[in-house]
Structure 1
């Protein structure tokens, strides 16, 4: 019985360590969209990655958006090679799109697509933390 418990604890610890090392985890600065940009905190949400809007900015500086605390990046499933698939929410039109994401070092490429991925809008984000 002790071995089963120990194996379960070690398995949970290994899964947590693997997610903590995910290249998408951290704080990212979005590309401006309709004159505003945000800082998005990417964190594990189960076996996936989710991104929550933490701060918002426009030409006048930081402002309090009604979208603070909402998820922009929803349920991105990693493939282990820096590529992800999930959903993306665009606050300016309040629509959710098929999402794809690629992380290379301190650069994150995010796309939201319609029509089965035929038409996509893309953004490049930069890592802050």
Structure 2
């Protein structure tokens, strides 16, 4: 009986650790001044604008690629063009990078955690 309780307690602690928020989750101020919310969406992280004329629009989806590194796609809300995207977190900043032509042409932005 005691070993069963120990097993249940260990499983509960493991699940609590797994449920901890990822550093990318939360609200971010984009370079243009809009607020973007990044939240878990089925094993990936969805990026949705919370302010600006594009409020409510999902502009990206990324997956963790290691500690503080992410990769996926990012959409320019002005043009509706989607690019291969990467993100990396350092402290309270998120450097977002979108590329086309296999990384030949890229643009970057730095976002700040709110």
The structure 1 segments of at least 4 consecutive aligned residues displaced by more than 6 Å after TM superposition are none
Give the CA deviation at 1:68.
1.2
Secondary structure at 1:69 match in 2: coil
Could you tell me the TM-score, scaled by structure 1's length? 0.73
Structure-2 change in CA distance of 1:19 and 1:101 (3 Å): farther
Gap regions ≥5 residues in structure 2: none
Residue 116 of structure 1 aligns to a residue whose secondary structure is helix
1:92 and 1:43 mapped to 2: Cα distance?
A: 22
Q: Aligned equivalents of 2:81 and 2:48: distance in 1?
A: 16
Q: Give the Cα separation in 1 of the matches to 2:102 and 2:18.
A: 31
**Partner SS for 1:79:** strand
Let me know the Cα RMSD of the aligned residues. Answer: 2.1
Distance (Å, rounded) in 1 between the aligned partners of 2:19 and 2:65: 12
Which residue in 2 is equivalent to 1:85?
Answer: 71
- 1:85 and 1:27 map into 2 onto residues whose CA distance is 18
Work out whether residues 101 and 109 of structure 1, in 8 Å CA contact, stay in contact via their aligned partners in 2.
Answer: yes
- State the TM-score, normalized to the length of structure 2: 0.82
Residue 69 of structure 1 pairs with residue 65 of structure 2: no
Q: Which residue of 2 aligns with 1:112?
A: 98
For residues 78 and 113 of structure 2, the distance between their equivalents in structure 1, rounded to whole angstroms, comes to 22
| Pair 1:46-2:32 in alignment | no
| 1:103 matched residue in structure 2 | 89
- Show the counterpart of 1:62: none
Q: 1:20 to 1:40 in 2, by over 3 A?
A: farther
Structure of higher CA gyration radius = 2
Shift of 1:19: 5.4
